Amino acid sequence: MKALLKISVFSLAVICGFAGYTTYGLPLIVPEAPPVEEKLGGDLTMEQFIAVGDKIYNGKGTCPLCHNPVGGRAPLLEGVAGISMERIADERYAGKATDIEGYIRESLIDTSAFVVEGFGKKGTNDTVSPMPDVSKGAIGLSEVELNAVIAYLQDIGGVEVTVPLPTGDEGGVGGEEEAGGEIKLAETAAEAFGKFGCTACHMAPGIEDGGDIGPDLGALAELAGSRKEGMDARAYVIESIMDPNAFVVQDYDADMMPVPEDYDVQMTLAEMNLIVDAMLGKE
Ligand code: HEC
Ligand code: HEC
DSSP character string of 157-198: TTS---SPPP-S-S--S-TTB-TTSPBPPP-SHHHHHHHTTH
Which residues sit opposite 144 in a β-bridge? none
Q: What are the structural domain ranges in the chain?
A: 1-31+182-283, 45-175
Report the alpha-carbon distance of residue 188 to residue 277 in Å, rounded.
11
Ligand nearest to the Cα of 196, by number:
2
Helix (H, G, I), strand (E, B) or coil at 66: coil
Mean of all residue pLDDT scores within the chain: 83
Report the alpha-carbon distance of residue 167 to residue 133 in Å, rounded.
25
Is the CB of 204 within 6 Å of ligand 2?
no
Report the alpha-carbon distance of residue 103 to residue 133 in Å, rounded.
14
Is the CB of 214 within 6 Å of ligand 2?
yes
Instruction: Give the residue whose CA is nearest to atom 13 of ligand 1.
Output: 74
What is the mean predicted confidence (pLDDT) over 45-70?
91
Residue 112 C-alpha to ligand 1 middle, in angstroms? 10
User: Which residue, 138, 131, 208, 133, is CA-closest to 175?
Assistant: 138
Topology classification of domain 45-175:
Cytochrome Bc1 Complex; Chain D, domain 2 (1.10.760)
Is the CB of 242 within 6 Å of ligand 2?
no
Is the CB of 280 within 6 Å of ligand 2?
no
In angstroms, how far is the first alpha carbon of the chain from the final one? Answer: 32
Report the alpha-carbon distance of residue 31 to residue 18 in Å, rounded.
26
Report the alpha-carbon distance of residue 144 to residue 53 in Å, rounded.
9
- How long a stretch of residues is the chain? 283
Is the CB of 88 within 6 Å of ligand 2?
no
Instruction: Give the residue whose CA is nearest to atom 22 of ligand 1.
Output: 107
Residue 243 near residue 259 (C-beta atoms within 8 A): yes
pLDDT of residue 173: 58
Report the alpha-carbon distance of residue 11 to residue 16 in Å, rounded.
8
Do 1-31+182-283 and 45-175 have matching folds?
A: yes
Residue 251 near residue 17 (C-beta atoms within 8 A): no
Report the alpha-carbon distance of residue 177 to residue 36 in Å, rounded.
9
Report the alpha-carbon distance of residue 113 to residue 97 in Å, rounded.
9
In this prediction, what percent of the chain has a pLDDT beyond 90?
Answer: 58
In sequence order, which residues have a C-beta less than 8 Å from that of residue 276 and are 6 or more positions away? Answer: 234, 237, 238, 241
Report the alpha-carbon distance of residue 88 to residue 98 in Å, rounded.
7
φ/ψ of residue 177, rounded to 5:
-105, 145
Residue 194 near residue 133 (C-beta atoms within 8 A): no
81, containing H or E segment: helix 80-89
Ligand nearest to the Cα of 244, by number:
2
Is the CB of 228 within 6 Å of ligand 2?
no
pLDDT of residue 50: 96
Mutate to test the pocket of ligand 2, among 257, 267, 279 (most ligand atoms within 8 A of CB): 257
Kindly indicate the confidence band of residue 72, based on its pLDDT and cuts at 50, 70 and 90: confident
Ligand nearest to the Cα of 139, by number:
1
Report the alpha-carbon distance of residue 265 to residue 66 in Å, rounded.
15
- The pLDDT tens digits of the residues spanning 121-166 come to 988 999 999 999 999 887 889 999 999 999 999 999 999 999 999 9
Is the CB of 189 within 6 Å of ligand 2?
no
Residue 177 per-residue DSSP state: B
- The pLDDT tens digits of the residues spanning 165-186 come to 998 777 655 444 444 455 788 9
Report the alpha-carbon distance of residue 257 to residue 65 in Å, rounded.
8
Instruction: Give the residue whose CA is nearest to atom 23 of ligand 2.
Output: 240
Ligand nearest to the Cα of 100, by number:
1
Residue 100 near residue 91 (C-beta atoms within 8 A): no
Homologous superfamily of the 1-31+182-283 domain (CATH): Cytochrome c-like domain (1.10.760.10)
Residue 56 CB: number of other CB atoms within 10 A?
A: 27
Is residue 119 pLDDT above 70, yes or no?
Answer: yes
Pocket of ligand 1 (CB under 6 A): 57, 61-63, 65-67, 73-75, 77, 80, 87, 104, 107-108, 111, 114-116, 119, 129-132, 134, 149, 200-201, 211, 213
Ligand nearest to the Cα of 54, by number:
1
